[in-house]
Chain A
Amino acid sequence: MFDPVLAEIRFGTGLSPSQKGPADTGEMLDRLTGPDRAADRWPLPKFEADAVPLLREYYQMRRVTKKGGNSPEVEAANKAYKGLKRQVREAGARQIAMQVLRGALTDDGLRERLTWFWNDHFTVVGRGLTVRSYITGFAEEAIRPHLTGRFADMLWAAASHPLMLQYLDQHRSIGPNSNVAKKSGKPYGINENLAREMLELHTLGVNGTYSQADVTALARLLTGMTVVELRFKVDPKYAEPGIQTILGQAYGGPPKDREADLRVFIEDLASHPQTLRHIAWKLAVHFVSDTPDPGLVEHISAALIGSGGELLEGYRAMLNHPAAWAAELGNVKPPFDFVVSATRALDVHPAMLERMNAKSLDTIFYAPLRLMGQGWMTPLGPDGWPEADSRWVTPQGLAGRIQWAMTAPQALTTRLPDPRNLVETALGAQAPQSLRFAASAAETDWEGVGIILSSPAFQRR
């Protein structure tokens, strides 16, 4: 059962020489439900609250500069536009530093891990400089506040977030019989993208019992959910009128009630047993094993179903099941999690990352992550990153990890740790004998550090 080293390695962001891990599962859950100190200490801009006003100004300036010419108005706008663009670019580059610091220096690693898990479950990818630069705003607003709440609330927050609506084209989906379509006479129509992924990825899972007819009906029901000036809005003008039958139930009606109708649907979908079983299975796969113990999945699933989708009860069930604490390390950390846990093991000083410029952040984080196979926040599709260990442990990906482990620690610390100490602080009593030997046999400290951090014992959790 509970083990303080496994608690940090498997359910947190790794062992830290300075942060004290939780003493039992009760403390893990207490920290998780307590104040969000990591986010307070290393804030990231929220999308709607912080980025939207700035981006509106940015787009306004761009409209003026596009007019061209050299009137004083255009010249002033040009200057302002350039300044804003720099500001946006820098904000974009800084995102990763804040994320890494939260993971590296928190005493509540489970919260970071759950944030990454759910952020991936509800994958959004930013297109274009502006959206990419504030992509973490999605998790700040739609994921993090709902980590320990009801799944229905997280589903609504994620599905109605402007970044999700844009990513899956929902903001352009218009009911063919909506007011707008009828008045304009143009051939407006629906776009099925969000409807399909909501059923296939976010809730029931691809093995769920839904059909193309359910996808189409849901796409019609979702019309009206749109983005106006970068903010979410349910606009009845765009909503397809009429009743839609989805999974055997009737939803919808007149467009004026669309938001209420959508909320009823989201409640039903979020508490559907297939949905809760699907997320129980995903939690077990992500945190414990690619082939999880069926008893563990059933235990989590029962807790989620029994509580009507209270996520905290799902986590509690997972942490109270013996299969979650199997001694052997299993899953391979994805590249980002690896980089964070290595930074944590090195006990990096926050100023080191807070002051790092965009170019260094690219050299130390963004470019190496791409080589390891996980370009930051850019999975190929809405299904997010793969879970299978074999997808990460490729010659290519491993070469990337070795290269990073050999070179990045030098740039992250003023003085490298002695490899013989690092092997103890990073792995605890679990460090294999061969690794202890290698740590003492390396010709230089940077190679010793690199060998430890790229070793299988450190890559697995």
Chain B
Amino acid sequence: MQRRDFLIRSLALGCSAAASPMLTPVAFAEAPWEGRLVVIILRGAMDGLDAVRPYGDAEFAKLRGKLAGPNVGEADLQGFYALHPAMEPLRPLWNAGSLGFAHAVSTPYRDKRSHFDGQDLLEAGTVGLSGEGTRDGWLNRLLQAVPGVSGKTAFALERDQMLLLRGKAPVNTWTPESDLNISPQAQRLIELVHHDDPLFSGAVADAIGIADSLHLIDNPMTALEAQQLVRERAKEVGGSKGHLLLASFAAARLREEARIAAFSLNGWDTHRRQEKAINGALGRLSEVVSTLHQELGPEVWGKTTVLAMTEFGRTARINGTEGTDHGTGSAMVMAGGALRGGQVWSDWPGLAEADLYAGRDLMPTRDVRAHAAWALRGMFGIEQAVLERDVFPGLDMGDDPRLIL
């Protein structure tokens, strides 16, 4: 049998057949511009105060105890913030101006601190959870706002539809690990029996179209051969390197026609023993950024912006289990050669009791959507009125933070 597998053979993947629980869908869309945008949803609420530690705030060490980390030393960023050790491998990008952070930011979501509602609002890009715009994602509405995005050119990869990319604009879906082995006659019959069910016929046409364009369709002669193909693929995928597969796959698509990639990284809900848990999550995020940097190559990386956003932050104080509970303000991680990086954008609210949101959380001083909107403006030249009305309904973008070179 012949494997015309374009996928990431070079990656040294673990042999475990178990897909990593950290591996979630990638979605791509092509668009009529040169800039590349990668949006990563950090699911579970990243503790911004731990990722980018405001050691210059006198209250920080008191609130955080052991989580405040050792003496700042080399971890310093700009003399007020320190980089979490797990992101230290990204230091060269910081020095090169290709890594930056927005701190004390959040969506407009407040008070109930539900992951699910918080993520829905982050992906919908709206002010509230009901009403206009809440059924589709802001990245899809961005695509709706520009000409030249067609079903033929748009490309998407995901296992589970991300709200972020749901909507009227065509976005194809797939994951790096998928496969489709059918004979030409079986394909025709499958199309026939799916024909009268609109939900299924669209999905099956996309499945066959995508698998075909990726040269994934093999024609097994026997059922045993078909099973063998399934087993081979399972071995290629998974293990603890799932996030690298996502990044690598994203880079491969962005080097070609795709202009937008979106996927999720999980594992941020650090209710207990945060020191260990966030180390893993930030380490994976760093590896994803490094992989994108390396595999996009200097030219494409120079046109790329990565935005890693989370649904809300975590409590300023440590809880009773060496972790933190759901909070409000957090940080956004930004990277890419197109970024005017090497800085932390923040209107720092302070961490004294009276400065905290509801006496417990980092006070958000800026809407994270404003930073995302300014990035879209800088990257793609989208009009401010379109951003404030269509992409992020109800947003006041405020002053230009000049994120993009």
Contact = CB atoms under 8 A, between A and B. Distances in A.
Given A394-B159, A403-B230, A193 B210 contact: no
Contact of B199 (A373, A389, A402, A451): A389
B271 interface: yes
Nearest to A400: B178
Contacts of B17: 362, 367
Contact of A403 (B24, B181, B326): B181
Contacts of B211: 399
A391 B161 contact: yes
B199 A399 contact: no
A172 B161 contact: no
Contact of A435 (B25, B161, B193): B193
Contacts of B346: none
B72 interface: no
B193 A432 contact: yes
Q: Determine chain A's interface SS by DSSP, over half rule.
A: helix
Given A196-B114, A381-B116, A442-B186, A390 B161 contact: yes
A427 B163 CA distance: 34
Interface in A419-447: 432, 434-435, 437-438, 441-444, 446-447
B60 interface: no
Contacts of A390: 161, 199
A318 B180 CA distance: 39
Given A363-B227, A407-B227, A456-B197, A391 B271 contact: no
Interface stretch (A4-12, A182-190, A243-251, A338-346): A182-190
A162 interface: no
Contacts of A352: none
Contacts of B43: 380
A395 B231 contact: no
Contacts of B174: 395-396
B320 A398 contact: no
Given A200-B114, A206-B116, A380-B266, A434 B272 contact: no
A121 interface: no
Given A406-B226, A456-B193, A190 B200 contact: no
Interface residues of B, number: 69
A432 B196 contact: yes
A144 to B, nearest CB: 26
Given A368-B230, A391-B160, A443 B186 contact: yes
B354 interface: no
Given A191-B325, A451-B186, A456-B194, A176 B204 contact: no
Interface in B317-344: 318-321, 323, 325-326
A411 interface: yes
B194 A399 contact: no
A185 B17 CA distance: 47
A447 B222 CA distance: 9
Given A189-B319, A196-B326, A435-B193, A212 B271 contact: no
Given A193-B271, A380-B266, A397 B186 contact: no
Contact of B189 (A215, A368, A451): A451
Q: Which of A206, A394, A444 has the most CB of B within 10 A?
A: A394
B358 A398 contact: no
Q: Which of B24, B115, B159, B185 has the most CB of A within 10 A?
A: B159
A206 B117 contact: yes
A211 interface: yes
B362 to A, nearest CB: 16
Interface in A149-204: 169, 172-174, 176, 181, 187-193, 196, 200
Nearest to B189: A438
Interface string B201-237: 0011011001100000000001110110011001000
A441 B189 contact: yes
B325 A393 contact: no
A443 B182 CA distance: 11
B175 interface: yes
A212 B325 CA distance: 12
A364 to B, nearest CB: 9
B271 to A, nearest CB: 5
B50 interface: no
A140 interface: no
A398 B175 CA distance: 12
Contacts of B227: 363, 407, 410-411
A395 B182 contact: no
A245 B325 CA distance: 21
B136 to A, nearest CB: 12
B320 A393 contact: no
Contacts of A438: 189, 192-193
Interface in B227-259: 227, 230-231, 234
B183 A443 contact: yes
A99 interface: no
Nearest to B193: A455
Nearest to A459: B200
B120 to A, nearest CB: 10
Contacts of A454: 190
A368 B115 CA distance: 28
Interface string B43-66: 110000000000000000000010
B111 interface: yes
A398 B200 contact: yes
Contacts of A48: none
Contact of B116 (A366, A378, A383): A383
Interface string B305-320: 0000000000000111
B19 interface: yes
A394 B194 CA distance: 13
A371 interface: yes
A450 interface: yes
B30 interface: no
20 contacts: A169-B271, A169-B321, A172-B321, A173-B320, A189-B320, A190-B319, A191-B271, A191-B320, A193-B325, A196-B114, A212-B112, A373-B159, A381-B44, A386-B160, A396-B207, A399-B178, A399-B179, A407-B230, A443-B186, A456-B200
Given A196-B114, A367-B19, A395-B173, 11 more contacts: A215-B113, A381-B115, A394-B173, A394-B203, A395-B203, A396-B175, A399-B180, A402-B180, A411-B227, A444-B223, A446-B223
Interface of B: 17-19, 21, 24-25, 43-44, 65, 111-117, 157-161, 172-175, 177-183, 185-186, 189-190, 192-197, 199-200, 203-204, 206-207, 210-211, 222-224, 226-227, 230-231, 234, 266, 271-272, 318-321, 323, 325-326, 358
